[in-house]
Structure 1
Amino acid sequence: MAPRSPLLRSPLVHSGVQFMEQSFLKYVPCQRSRLATTAPSLNYAMTGSKGPTAMVFLNMGGPSKTDDVEDFLTRLFADGDLIPLGRLQAYIAPLLARRRTPKIQRQYADIGGGSPIRRWSEHQCQEMCKILDKLSPVTAPHKPYISFRYASPLTEDMYIKLLEDGFGGGNGGRAVAFTQYPQYSCSTTGSSLNELWKWRNRLEGKHANNDTLGTIQWSVIDRWPTHPGLVEAFAKNIEEQLATYPEDRRNAVVLLFSAHSLPMSVVNRGDPYPAEVAATVHAVMQRLRFSNPYRLCWQSQVGPSAWLGAQTSHTVQEYVKRGQTDLILVPIAFTSDHIETLYELDREVIHEANHPGVKRAESLNGNPIFIRALADIALDHMQRGEKCSTQMTLRCQGCKNERCLEQKKFFAGSALVR
């Protein structure tokens, strides 16, 4: 499966527990919303002076039903930003997809017949837009869109819908591409932005980003690994799971933060993902006052090449062998449940551990603290009027991808990219 990772006002690592506590005060606990809801229709008569604003969530996506698995895998294996297979990639991808489809179909069948990513993404985006309409009437209405890299709604479908809804096509209008990979990776956020840039050129022409052309004016929220609301949402879920252990064992429970791994070839190229995941982990532990021992591990290695480790499955097996059987798995790079949490962690790693002390913290899903954090991130981005983060203007040290360079020039501005 594909990596799902990949800094606005907050620095990578906040210093001082007191500062962190103050930052989290507005993220108060409240009842979880677990079911997706339908957003009300937007009233364009109520448009603010800088609205409407399209809020576009970028994510990997997942097959909504088992019949969609082969198409999903074909697109995934065809993505050279994610899995570089050389000049024959377009021919190899369908063969790999066809070979793996039966196994992956069985896995999706075991978790309910399809991925819940679309349902949760739509819910999160819709609820965020409702909050933004209240917080920022000048940029309202905020219209929710989902753009998946490998499953419906695909990037091109999202872009066509934008044009149908009156954005671009000579009308101008503002759109914010909001990655749902909190930690940036060229293989996740970078790939999604490359795809968005491609379809922008195809559907609106290869013009400069100029208001006078009437094209959609894009900006990008490209990473947010240590935002206080994200950290608080993770911390609350961990605390809730810790509370299920007897008090005399609670402080000895080991927290295993699990993120999707990357090939070492990508890491050695200079991809920022491992550092940003580690920053999220440190921020969460700082919020928890380092109450428990913890480790960062990596899941979902694919193929024989070297990947970033230690692997989550091996880590759990080793600790259980040593007698450390109170473990909480924390999916630290995912914003909702999907096959890597519901099948790989729950049905493989935890099942194989075969011990009641091995558990998993709840995913973010409909967590209202998390959804409020999304709104705060978007509000801060729009108020600051930035095109993207400073980090996005810097290419990986070993980057040779010309498409990545041109994409960055478009979203960040040619003079800024280095």
Structure 2
Amino acid sequence: MCLVSIDTSSSLNTPVVLYASPAAASGPEHVEVPVDYDAVILASFGGPEGQDDVIPFLRNVTRGRGIPDERLEEVAHHYRAFGGVSPINEQNRALKAALETELTERRIDLPVYWGNRNWAPYLPDAFRAAASAGHKTLLVLATSAYSSYSSDRQYREDIANAIESAQLQTVVTADKVRLFFDHPGFVEPFREGVETALRTLIAEGHDPSAVSVLFTTHSIPTADAQLSGPKGRAWPEGGAYQAQHMAVAEYVMSTVAQTVPVARDVAWELVYQSRSGPASQPWLEPDINDVIAGLPSRGSTAVVVVPLGFISDHMEVLWDLDTEAQETADNAGIRMLRTPTPGVHPAFVAGLVDLIIERLEGTPAAERPRVTELGPWYDVARAGDCKNARRDYAPAAGGVAP
């Protein structure tokens, strides 16, 4: 296994980023010189595509934790309710096709390969396919927008593992597209969704002061949240993960208020969902179902649920929101509207291609679009960013070691 050591006294030409292109190898925060990438790797989580896949898939997701199949079956029923098929793979096929179309329309000759962390097609196979076609300078686009171990550093570990598994250490380089939580293309579908939902509820006769907006994202262990984001910046208790979500939610509500002025009277908050793990382990709260159940006591008659942490309508959206949260709202006697995820929204797809072009052209950081003061996020993750709280560092590409 190839590791890159860091000498803090070394020159800027000394590589400190594993498997990086020469432009990123010295670890700049933003790569502001053009890089001639010759392929894009779309990296995602993956999901089962039949009943027989469900338990093997969940074993992959929980590998190393010693969770017995009996406990996995408690989660498996979410997938079994949909025929054992997670929608995420089909959604990634659609996203890959949309990216290819957008790239072609802009006359950018970059093939797109797709690989997953937990189910076929696997990421090492995507790297093998790219290398076999003669593509050596690769740009990885992960379907995750925010800072946390599982949504950032683990993808960078996946990249390193894929290159090593495919024995391409001396063949390819791989950089990673920056986290895009506050890129306008990612945020626009949420802004549009909130505006549409509020107009609908107002038209139905709901008083704006009786409407609540809940921005929801995947809960993570508090210890992991506190390690999200680079050191040396002031973060709330939930780390960069919480700060990024809050900043985007604030932007969405402030911009919606410009077109729907009564939105200023609408209460909103950030909530969490899809918690797993032992009850003794602290996770980010409050849970969305607890909040929805308490809304009538606040005088709410309707709630808008915004899946701010999710790229597409995969299982945590279809089951945890459209099934469980909807049932909670029904039991509480309040109207619930769930806004769309970005999916293949034209603004989102165009934004992802804009992010690719940033790296092709070496766009200066000052010229890069973002809607919060936190961005634009780093092209090269900073040392120690998004450490796994339960184990030591593993080799990771796309960032300064460790």
TM-score range, shorter chain: 0.7 to 0.9
| 1:389 aligned onto 2:352 | no
SS in 2 for 1:393: coil
Contact 2:149 2:386 in 1 (8 A): no
Tell me the TM-score normalized by structure 1: 0.73
Alignment map for 1:103-182 (pairs within 5 Å): 103-135=74-106, 137=107, 140-167=108-135, 173-182=136-145
Corresponding residue of 2:237: none
Structure 1's unaligned 5+ residue stretches are: 1-7, 10-48, 79-88, 168-172, 208-214
In 2, the alpha carbon distance for the partners of 1:190 and 1:397 equals: 6
In 1, the alpha carbon distance for the partners of 2:99 and 2:386 equals: 35
Corresponding residue of 1:85: none
In 1, the alpha carbon distance for the partners of 2:167 and 2:217 equals: 36
Q: Which amino acid aligns with 1:162?
A: A
Tell me the TM-score normalized by structure 2: 0.76
Distance verdict in 2 for CA 1:77–1:398, change over 3 Å? closer
Corresponding residue of 2:227: 269
Residue by residue over 1:173-203, the C-alpha shift from the partner in whole angstroms, topping out at 9 and shown as x without a partner, is 3211112111121222211210210221232
Q: Which amino acid aligns with 1:224?
A: F
Residue by residue over 1:296-318, the C-alpha shift from the partner in whole angstroms, topping out at 9 and shown as x without a partner, is 00111112111010111101111
Distance verdict in 2 for CA 1:321–1:380, change over 3 Å? same
Q: Which amino acid aligns with 2:59?
A: T
Per-residue deviation, 1:112: 5.0
Distance verdict in 2 for CA 1:327–1:165, change over 3 Å? same
Distance verdict in 2 for CA 1:285–1:65, change over 3 Å? same
In 2, the alpha carbon distance for the partners of 1:205 and 1:367 equals: 34
Distance verdict in 2 for CA 1:286–1:394, change over 3 Å? farther
Distance verdict in 2 for CA 1:334–1:234, change over 3 Å? same
Residue by residue over 1:332-352, the C-alpha shift from the partner in whole angstroms, topping out at 9 and shown as x without a partner, is 011101111111111111112
Identify which of 212, 215, 218 aligns with 1:257: 215
Distance verdict in 2 for CA 1:165–1:62, change over 3 Å? same
Contact 2:214 2:305 in 1 (8 A): yes
Identify which of 44, 63, 67 aligns with 2:52: 67
Contact 2:98 2:344 in 1 (8 A): no
Structure 2's unaligned 5+ residue stretches are: 1-28, 230-239, 258-262, 365-376
Contact 1:329 1:360 in 2 (8 A): yes
Corresponding residue of 1:376: 354
In 1, the alpha carbon distance for the partners of 2:87 and 2:386 equals: 36
Per-residue deviation, 1:258: 0.4
| 1:357 aligned onto 2:342 | no
Q: Which amino acid aligns with 2:129?
A: K
| 1:225 aligned onto 2:184 | no
| 1:99 aligned onto 2:70 | yes
In 1, the alpha carbon distance for the partners of 2:202 and 2:256 equals: 18
Corresponding residue of 1:83: none
In 2, the alpha carbon distance for the partners of 1:52 and 1:225 equals: 23
Identify which of 279, 289, 311 aligns with 2:247: 279
Count of residues in Structure 1 that have an aligned counterpart in Structure 2: 337
Distance verdict in 2 for CA 1:402–1:390, change over 3 Å? farther
Kindly, what percent of the aligned residue pairs are identical? Answer: 21
Contact 1:179 1:222 in 2 (8 A): no
In 2, the alpha carbon distance for the partners of 1:403 and 1:273 equals: 19
Q: CA RMSD in A?
A: 2.9
Contact 1:66 1:105 in 2 (8 A): no
Corresponding residue of 1:22: none
In 2, the alpha carbon distance for the partners of 1:113 and 1:321 equals: 38
Residue by residue over 1:109-157, the C-alpha shift from the partner in whole angstroms, topping out at 9 and shown as x without a partner, is 323541111111121122122212333x4xx422222221112212222
In 1, the alpha carbon distance for the partners of 2:342 and 2:387 equals: 34
Per-residue deviation, 1:397: 8.5
Residue by residue over 1:390-416, the C-alpha shift from the partner in whole angstroms, topping out at 9 and shown as x without a partner, is 561242497786544x42xx534xxx5
Identify which of 270, 281, 284 aligns with 1:296: 270
SS in 1 for 2:70: helix
| 1:246 aligned onto 2:202 | yes
Corresponding residue of 2:157: 194
Alignment map for 1:313-352 (pairs within 5 Å): 313-352=289-328
